[in-house]
A = this chain, B = another copy of it.
Amino acid sequence: MSTQAILVADLAADDALEPAKLSAVDRLVEQIRDLVRDRKLVIGDPLPTERELGEVFQAGRNTVREALQILKAYGIVEVRPKIGAVLSDRHEDAVRKLFAFQHDISPASFLDVQGYRKIIEVGIGDHLILHTTPADLDHLDAVNARLLTQASVEEAARHDFAFHEALVTLAGNRTLLTNYRLLQPVITQIMRVGKADRPVQTDTHQAHAEIIKALRDRDRVAYTYLLSRHLEYGLQFVVTDPGKGGAQS
């Protein structure tokens, strides 16, 4: 218990790297965060109006607005016209957006991301083989089935990602899942490109189904092989440079 208290204190100090005088805007950001904490506001609760905040904290409204823009960028608040700033749960979205903000869009980047996915999705294989329940696998089937029910490339990419997301979810590690989701924009982008030329939904669905089957059979080797092949399959549509066949380095 005392351990936890120490932790909180220590981590609070992470922000105090520059003990020097903060700008009024930064000070306001802190004060508003404190306000939220002190009043124990929860998601959806409204903050005071900009004018009130300015009055309470002795700052101009423009200064308050700049602070709110920062909080907004952090996904802490969402400001709706007229109703004002309300506490938001879009934090993860903000992280995701920020993460993808200036990711370069190059074939090398795609290759890298697919390599990452291979490490992750193959890496959780041991756990999946051991711990997935029939219900889990049925759920995967259900998610996979959605791949066949629509036509839009955008939709297909989303459902494709949903399958892999569900797979990673089964690893039962929240940190891993959060990190994997960070790449959602990039991954769905890869998928869109892969599916742009011609619809490959049935192929994808089939590949997913085989992967599920490998899990049902608790066949670690098949899982690894099928998953690797599946991820590499998508790559050949992305790396179009040489025009030749294989895409392995």
Contact = CB atoms under 8 A, between A and B. Distances in A.
A102 B112 contact: no
Interface in A198-239: 238
A193 B62 CA distance: 40
Interface string A13-56: 01000000000010000000000000000000000000000000
Number of copies: 2
Contacts of A106: 4
Interface residues of A, number: 58
User: Top 9 closest A-B pairs, CB basis?
Assistant: A123-B123, A116-B175, A73-B73, A179-B179, A3-B240, A66-B69, A7-B105, A69-B69, A70-B73
Interface of A: 1, 3-4, 6-8, 10-11, 14, 25, 62, 65-66, 69-70, 72-76, 91-92, 94-95, 98-102, 105-107, 112-113, 115-116, 119-120, 122-124, 127, 171, 173-176, 179, 182-183, 185, 189, 192-193, 196, 238, 240-241
